């Protein structure tokens, strides 16, 4: 029985990438920009304390230097972390950043890691639509009302499929 569970677990994990570990540099997409009011919420008190311990002031929070970021490890599996932008940098939602993993995230606690670079947003947005809707699909004789949107050649290998979107992959396969 135990061997069967181990085989099942190995099969499930084979479809997912390995979560980033300490020392890795990964590409991540900005999923949230924290403001001071966000950290005043009771559920964010622990994050507020960690941000303060990392040296972030209220003015840093007002400038949008504390982020939540994510990247894809495989189908239906994303990895998240908190990130700190260098001073004078800004990063809107869906912006792709390069981040050094000093504190790996776990299921119990997200790491708090430094952003080390920006990625070209025009070529590499954080999330892209994977399908487009075709309203007149029957009239066109198609078998479905959705059509896949292919990635550009430079984007191939840099995204994973996540819930009908392409999400930037944590570990980049270079072309």
Return the CATH number at 143: 2.40.50.140
Specify if 33 maps to a domain.
yes
Q: 136 in a domain, yes or no? A: yes
Question: Averaged over 26-32, what is the pLDDT?
Answer: 95
Mean pLDDT rounded to a whole number for the chain: 87
H or E segment and range at residue 14:
helix 2-14
Token pair, residue 117, equals 């670079």
Q: Is residue 137 part of a domain?
A: yes
Domain region containing 80: 19-168
Residue at 102 is within a domain: yes
Whether 13 maps to a domain, the answer reads no
Read off the pLDDT band of 81 (50, 70, 90). Answer: very high
Residue 14 resides in a domain: no
Report the greatest alpha carbon distance in the chain.
61
Question: Is residue 148 scored above 60 in pLDDT?
Answer: yes
Residue 153 lies in a domain: yes
Distance CA 155, CA 150 (A): 10
Mean pLDDT (whole number) for 109-115: 95
User: What pLDDT is attached to residue 163?
Assistant: 84
Number of domains in the chain: 1
140 occurs within a structural domain: yes
Outline where the chain has alpha helix (H). Answer: 2-14, 36-39, 45-53, 58-62
């Amino acid at each position: 029985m135990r061997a069967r569970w181990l085989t099942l677990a190995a099969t499930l994990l084979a479809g997912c990438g390995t979560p980033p570990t300490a020392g890795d540099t990964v590409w991540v997409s900005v999923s949230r920009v924290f403001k001071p009011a966000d950290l005043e919420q009771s559920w964010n008190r622990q994050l507020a304390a960690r941000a303060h311990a990392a040296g972030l002031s209220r003015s840093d929070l007002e400038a949008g230097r504390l982020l939540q970021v994510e990247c894809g490890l495989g189908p239906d599996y994303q990895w998240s972390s908190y990130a700190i932008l260098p001073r004078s940098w800004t990063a809107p939602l869906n912006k792709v950043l390069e981040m050094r993993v000093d504190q790996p995230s776990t299921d119990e606690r997200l790491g708090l890691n430094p952003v080390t670079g920006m990625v070209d947003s025009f070529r590499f947005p954080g999330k892209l639509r994977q399908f487009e809707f075709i309203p007149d699909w029957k009239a066109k004789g198609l078998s479905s009302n959705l059509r896949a949107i292919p990635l550009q050649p430079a984007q191939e290998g840099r995204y994973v499929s996540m819930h009908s979107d392409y999400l930037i992959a944590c570990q980049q396969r270079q072309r």
